[in-house]
Structure 1
Amino acid sequence: MSKHTLETKLKAVDFYINKQCSYKETAELYGANTSDVIQWVALFKKHGKEGLQSTYTKYSFDLNLELFF
């Protein structure tokens, strides 16, 4: 699961794009790694808001047993 919420990612991308700050400054402000911000901006530019949504799915223990054994 992502350490950062969709809201935080969107705010960081908006800040980077509109305030014209560096990736490093944006990352420091939002408590992220510089590489995270670079990736978020690229995903946002290519896919919009949907590109920043998590694709992680957590399955219950019972379902894992059913699916994988």
Structure 2
Amino acid sequence: MSRHGESFKRSVVDSYLGGDESYASAASMHGVDAATVRKWVALYQAHGDAGLSGKYGRYDAAFRLSVLERMWEEGLSYRQTAALFNIRNASCLT
């Protein structure tokens, strides 16, 4: 279960996207890590509100391979790739 609800995540994202806060200041203001804010913002920008909702599941080997191939072809980071494919935890790509 997610530690933070969708409305909380949305408020953190909105505070960053409002333009007055950096990742670090938005994180500090809401009591979360700056990397978490970065991840939530990337998910929101790629998928809208659906990117902030809870998602549980497993990814089969064929899907993971296709994701990795796209990452390598486009020179994307693990974080960018996870956001693009709406994968919550980039470590499952390694």
Equivalent residue, structure 2, for 1:27:
27
Unaligned runs of 5+ in 2: 58-94
Equivalent residue, structure 1, for 2:43:
43
Provide the C-alpha distance between the structure 2 equivalents of 1:27 and 1:48, rounded to a whole number of angstroms.
Answer: 20
Q: Which structure has more RCO (C-alpha within 8 Å, separation ≥ 6)?
A: 1
Larger Rg: 1
Unaligned runs of 5+ in 1: 58-69
Moved over 2 A (4+): none
Provide the C-alpha distance between the structure 1 equivalents of 2:40 and 2:12, rounded to a whole number of angstroms.
Answer: 8
Provide the C-alpha distance between the structure 1 equivalents of 2:35 and 2:5, rounded to a whole number of angstroms.
Answer: 16
Matched residue of 1:49: which SS?
A: helix
Provide the C-alpha distance between the structure 1 equivalents of 2:3 and 2:33, rounded to a whole number of angstroms.
Answer: 11
Matched residue of 2:42: which SS?
A: helix
The amino acid that maps onto 1:47 is H
Provide the C-alpha distance between the structure 1 equivalents of 2:30 and 2:56, rounded to a whole number of angstroms.
Answer: 22
TM-score by length of 2: 0.56
Provide the C-alpha distance between the structure 1 equivalents of 2:22 and 2:11, rounded to a whole number of angstroms.
Answer: 14
How many residues were matched structurally?
A: 57
TM-score by length of 1: 0.75
The amino acid that maps onto 1:16 is Y
